[in-house]
Amino acid sequence: MSNIEQTLSIIKPDAVDRNLSDEIKKIFEKNDLIVKESKKIHITKEEASEFYKVHQSKPFYNDLCAYLSSGPIVVMILEGKNAVLANRKLMGATNPKEAEENTIRRLYGISIDKNSVHGSDSVENAKKEIDFFFNN
């Protein structure tokens, strides 16, 4: 009996640039989310646009895709009990100013766009997002 899940996490350019990847990974591991896979990559704006397609009608879409492709990112598969929700809780609210204390976004986020991490929001999207970055 287990609800061991996998979820996709991304350390965004602002956090990679400030060398926060190891600290953020430690937060996952300390909270029983195992980093199963991890790679540092630099995606194109086209790839970012495909990844964030769900937001294509939003006013921030263009800036968001430009931002995610602006520098190296670290993409990871996290695994653990209720990993999707557990990761979302560790991340905190989208806007770092609204994120609870000790969440990753509260600790490290700079602004709503430079908010240091991405995390899948459902098991279904986690599968799609993992497949997007780790499909070979």
For residues 35 and 106, what is the distance between their CA atoms, to the nearest angstrom? Answer: 21
Q: Looking at 26-34, 65-73, 95-103, 120-128, which segment touches Mg ion (CB under 5 A)?
A: 120-128
Tell which one of 20, 115, 126, 133 touches ligand CDP (CB under 6 A).
115
Nearest residue to ligand CDP, by Cβ distance, number only: 94
Q: Which residue has the tokens 């709503």?
A: 112
Strand partners, 127: none
Q: How far is the CB of 54 from ligand CDP (least distance, A)?
A: 8
Q: Which of 22, 15, 8, 4 is nearest to 87 (CA)?
A: 8
Query: By rule CB under 5 A, what count of residues binds Mg ion?
Result: 1
Strand partners, 4: 81
Q: How far is the CB of 65 from ligand CDP (least distance, A)?
A: 10
Binding site for ligand CDP (CB under 6 A): 55, 60, 64, 94, 112-113, 115, 118, 121
